[in-house]
Amino acid sequence: MDLVDKLTDRNFQIAALVSLAAIGTVFTVLEPFLVQDRLKARMKHVTEHRERLRQAQRDSFAKKSASLRASSAQGMLKEIVENLKLFEVFDAADARKKLVMAGFRGPRPVFVFMAARIGMPFVMAIGAGVYIYAVDNMGLDNFGRLLVTIFAFFSGFYVPNLYIQNVAKKRQQKIQLSWPDALDLLLICVESGMSIEAALQKVSEEVGPNAPELAEELGLTTAELSYLQERKQAYINLAERTGLEGVKGVTTALIQSEKYGTPLGQSLRVMAQENRELRMQEAEKKAAALPPKLTVPMIGFFMPVLFAVILGPAIMQVLNFTK
């Protein structure tokens, strides 16, 4: 009752509204300074990747992987991962592939991910234990609290993977949304006589403001085409980093065009049409799935009101008649 009286107090309501208005004003003033330029950050990653490729070209390719790890993977996380031999316990190659698909590049994210996989269970178990034992026992006995703590511990093993999968999926959706338009631009550039490197660089600049993720991938591909010994590997890396079937089809066409001399313009035109149809099919699929998703909210919120409107007068008449 004290809480209800407090919430219904006019002075409290006025103070709350004034506080919200003040917070909104401060946020409006500071928001332009807090916004980060995503394209600038991703283009920085492209530049760093190009510099790493230039350094790798100067050194022997046999020692490239070892030299990169030795130069950049330093610190406490590296010691923890190496001492616990987490690369042997977990699949390091699969972890690197997932991290690249999520947009995390370099050796440092791999060490952070490995350390998170071994440390997150303890963090979640401690957090759940503190809450269930010290804050709110939720009406559970000692055995129930122990089960909750154990469940939180084992759930911690899957939290890093779920986070990476979620980030990778969102990133793939953003790339898939802009990929057909990028193919149209690439087709125009190729048919105008530009080389594939110049075309990819031009397309990455054009789509950068609206699709920084795709611009980053195209920029990395341009850098790899310039410094890798086999151009085919650059296209394969693009397909692996995105994990999209539409991108794999285009990279296959690019590889065949360079290997057999097939016309690239016609292949890109067909691929662009297919990707536009795929994007439309995804939109139609979401639209078709909307009515079933709205069924439960309509039953829960619309039907009671409808019944009240229809049956309300009848019930009132019955109550008046009984009086």
Q: Is the pLDDT of residue 87 over 60?
A: no
The answer to whether residue 303 is domain-embedded is no
Residues 146 and 205 in one domain: no
Residues 184 and 276 in one domain: yes
pLDDT level of residue 73 (50, 70, 90 thresholds): very low
Residue 63 is classified by DSSP as G
The answer to whether residue 245 is domain-embedded is yes
The answer to whether residue 118 is domain-embedded is yes
The lowest-confidence range among 3-17, 54-68, 94-108 is: 54-68
What are 85's two structure tokens?
Answer: 């031999």
The answer to whether residue 195 is domain-embedded is yes
**pLDDT of amino acid 264:** 79
Instruction: Give CA–CA dist 191/266, Å, rounded.
Output: 10
The answer to whether residue 274 is domain-embedded is yes
Domain of residue 145, residue span: 71-157
8 Å CB contact between 49 and 204: no
The answer to whether residue 224 is domain-embedded is yes
8 Å CB contact between 189 and 203: yes
The domain total for the chain is: 2
The answer to whether residue 39 is domain-embedded is no
Residues 176 and 262 in one domain: yes
**pLDDT of amino acid 66:** 44
**Of 109, 133, 157, which residue constitutes the final position of a domain?**
157
Residues 83 and 144 in one domain: yes
Residues 75 and 138 in one domain: yes
Residues 132 and 102 in one domain: yes
**Largest interatomic CA distance in the chain:** 99
8 Å CB contact between 251 and 236: yes
Report pTM. 0.63
Of residues 66 and 148, the one with the higher pLDDT is: 148
CA atoms within 13 A on the CB side of 67: 12
What are 26's two structure tokens?
Answer: 């401060």
Instruction: Give CA–CA dist 90/167, Å, rounded.
Output: 20
Burial of 222 (0-12, 13-18, 19+ CB in 10 A): buried
The answer to whether residue 25 is domain-embedded is no
Calculate mean pLDDT across residues 123-133: 83
Residues 150 and 183 in one domain: no
* Mean residue pLDDT across the chain: 77
